[in-house]
């Protein structure tokens, strides 16, 4: 049986304790507003707003008018709404060009901001893990003292989507003239299905393991295996004797005592499918943040049905592979 972690938590506080978590939360609160205000206060942004007001509404706002952040938000919202609603009389080429330039000015540094938010979210998770388990990546270790692929993929999707949603919502809160609808950000159902697939693996895996933990090794099987592995096994599942024995290679090895030192192809396949999915979707998010101003974050980029099907089949194969016993058992344990 795997022994629970008994090592004391790190005594040193500093930025690996509560102070670090508070600093991260403060940075996440302040940075979006700083990016929005920086974009609105740039001379080029003000010049574009003045020119568009003149061409679209025949008004002449002054430099003093556009120096007020609230006024700038209202004018940009007015310009954007009028441009999007002008379907019967398309805007001139000059106006379209200036609208594009305005979008570029008001979306600058947003992609960098999301990457910073992503890094801060990861740091928050690592600090919590360090304070609880004594290791920064201890949140990936399960009750058998092995690193879990299901935990890894769930954490990966969580930090990417949570940081992206917070970045989009906070930019809308600071950037919209009327922040009442700032949280109305659409999420395509395919994205929810993708998250559901990932969480299903996290939930179903322990159920499969529970059945295997209730079994005992047969005598002839136990005689063929290392005595230390047999003594430390959890049913027919392999378990590391100590929390500190967990390693990243656990995510690619078999779960049972018999195949613990072999590469599990189903795990390797699912790891790469998950990694490709996360990196691809992160690229879409980065493109969205880098090219669309806050008022344009109406919904997240959609996920294609084909990609969702491939990922679903990969997870189904992973769970089916887990359900098969590779180690001969002598029946159910008492």
Tens digits of residue pLDDT in 124-162? 999 999 988 989 999 999 999 999 999 999 999 999 999
Domain ranges (residues) in the chain? 42-106, 109-332
Residue 279 predicted with pLDDT over 90:
yes
Averaged over 73-90, what is the pLDDT? 73
- Residues 6 or more apart from 301 whose CB is under 8 A from it? 188, 281, 284, 285, 287, 288
Residue 289: predicted pLDDT: 93
Rounded Cα–Cα distance for residues 72 and 30 (Å): 20
Task: Give percent of the chain with pLDDT exceeding 70.
Answer: 92
Average pLDDT, stretch 171-188? 83
Q: Are the C-beta atoms of 177 and 295 separated by less than 8 Å?
A: no
CA distance readout (Å), 275 to 134, 271, 278? 27, 6, 5
247-256 long-range Cβ contacts below 8 angstroms, 24+ apart? 247/147, 248/137, 248/147, 250/146, 250/147, 250/148, 251/140, 251/147, 251/148, 251/149, 251/152, 252/149, 254/326, 255/209, 255/212, 255/322, 256/212, 256/325, 256/326, 256/327
H or E element at residue 329? strand 329-332
Task: Assess contact for 55 and 61: CB atoms under 8 A.
Answer: no
Closest of 182, 123, 166, 164 to residue 28, by C-alpha:
166
* Burial (Cβ within 10 Å: 0-12, 13-18, ≥19) of residue 128: middle
Summary mean pLDDT of the chain: 85
């Amino acid at each position: 049986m795997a022994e629970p972690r008994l090592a004391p938590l790190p005594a040193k506080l500093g930025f690996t304790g509560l102070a670090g978590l508070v600093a991260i939360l403060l940075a996440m609160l302040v940075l979006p507003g700083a990016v929005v205000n920086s974009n609105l206060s740039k001379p080029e942004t003000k010049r574009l707003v003045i020119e568009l007001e003149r061409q679209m509404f025949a008004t002449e706002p002054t430099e003093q008018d556009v120096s007020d952040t609230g006024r700038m938000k209202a004018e940009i919202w007015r310009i954007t709404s009028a441009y999007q609603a002008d379907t019967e009389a398309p805007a001139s080429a000059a106006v379209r060009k200036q609208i594009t330039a305005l979008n570029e000015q008001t979306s600058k540094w947003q992609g960098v901001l999301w990457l910073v938010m992503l890094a801060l979210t990861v740091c928050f998770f690592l600090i919590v893990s360090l304070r609880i388990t004594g290791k920064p990546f201890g949140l990936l270790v399960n009750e058998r003292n092995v690193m879990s692929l299901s935990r890894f993929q769930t954490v990966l999707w969580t930090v990417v989507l949570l940081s992206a949603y917070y970045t989009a919502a906070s930019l809308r809160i600071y950037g919209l003239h009327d922040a009442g609808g700032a949280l109305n950000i659409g999420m395509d159902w395919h994205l929810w299905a993708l998250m559901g697939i990932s969480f299903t693996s996290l939930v179903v895996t322990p159920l499969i393991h529970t059945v295997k933990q209730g079994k005992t090794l047969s005598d002839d099987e136990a005689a063929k295996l290392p005595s230390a592995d047999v003594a430390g096994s959890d049913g027919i599942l392999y378990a590391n004797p100590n929390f500190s024995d967990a390693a990243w290679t656990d995510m690619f090895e078999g779960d049972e005592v018999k195949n613990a030192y072999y590469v599990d192809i189903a795990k390797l396949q699912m790891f790469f499918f998950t990694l490709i999915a996360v990196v691809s979707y992160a690229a879409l998010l980065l493109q969205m943040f880098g090219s669309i101003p806050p008022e344009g974050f109406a919904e997240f980029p959609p996920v294609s049905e084909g990609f969702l099907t491939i990922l679903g089949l990969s997870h189904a194969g992973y769970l089916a592979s887990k359900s098969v016993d590779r180690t001969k058992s002598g029946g159910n344990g008492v």
